[in-house]
Amino acid sequence: MSKTPNASSKVIGRIRRINEAKILKAAELEFAEQGYQGSSINKIAQRAELPKANIHYYFGSKQELYLKVLETTHKLWDQTLNDFKPEDDPHQVLSTYIQHKMALAQSHPLASRIFAKEVLSGAPELKLYLDKGYKEWFQGRVAVIEAWIEQGKIRPINPVHFIFLLWATTQHYADFETQILAAMGKRKLTQKDYDLASQTLIEVILKGCGLTTQA
């Protein structure tokens, strides 16, 4: 019995999602190791174990694929900030955000390093993405923190630099893992290390906001 058009579309969609995920993972590894200039579609195809034509079919070019990796990483890191609302409990959402970012530092360190390298080089490939409403999105996050201050939920702090602090402290564990391992005399961070780091950041940041560390 032949498949219905709807069933065929589902199969094609599933294959596409699988292939795109394989390509993005391979591209993440290649860009992290070789940088944008040192990478090639051929090498990414070899890592993904897919024909080179598949890469071009799904992403068009190396630049398009690189931008997709960067945009996916950026959205992943900032995703939890999207959920901040004036009516929220800062203790709960900040604790959740820090735990989420630390989990990403543990599970997606390469993606974070690719993003960091791009920004350190002046964001030549990411500039257009950042120019498309990013400032407005950031100001929306600032406004939420300002609302918490006005409501007396947290003590007066500079919301802009507070967000930068949240980014820096959590992504440090991905971007500067080599330095951290050298300082701690370890070859790899354990789950206990990440849990302790999360707990420490939560305690310090919440207290800095005038919050107790007890929910």
Q: How many CA atoms lie within 13 A of 13 on its CB side?
A: 6
Q: What is the pLDDT of residue 32?
A: 87
For residues 15 and 96, membership in a common domain is answered with: no
Return the percent helix, strand and coil in the chain, to nearest 5. 80, 0, 20
Separation CA 165–CA 161 (nearest Å)? 6
What's the pLDDT at 142?
A: 96
Q: Do 57 and 96 touch, CB atoms closer than 8 A?
A: no
Please state, in angstroms and rounded to a whole number, the distance separating the CA atoms of residues 80 and 122. Answer: 25
- 31: nearest Cα among 122, 114, 117: 114
Low-confidence ranges of the chain (pLDDT < 70): 1-5, 7-8, 11-12, 214-215
The model's pLDDT over 75-96, given as tens digits with 9 standing for 90+, comes to 777 777 888 899 999 999 999 9
Same domain, 36 and 95: no
- Domain range for 35 is 1-60
* pLDDT (0 to 100) of residue 202: 97
**Contact (CB, 8 A) for 79 and 103:** no
> What predicted TM-score, i.e. pTM, was given to this entire model?
0.81
Using the Cα atoms of residue 106, residue 108, residue 111 and residue 112 in order, give the sign of their dihedral. negative
39: left (phi over 0), alpha (psi -120 to 50) or beta: beta
Q: 34-57 burial, b if ≥16 CB within 10 A, otherwise e? A: eebeebebebbbebbebeeeebee
Q: What is the CATH number of the domain that holds 49?
A: 1.10.10.60
Q: For residue 6, is it within any domain?
A: yes
90 part of a folded domain:
yes
List C-alpha distances in Å: 164 to 31, 72, 79, 144, 158.
25, 20, 15, 15, 10
Domain closes at, from 12, 44, 60: 60
pLDDT value of residue 127:
82
Domain boundary among 38, 60, 82: 60
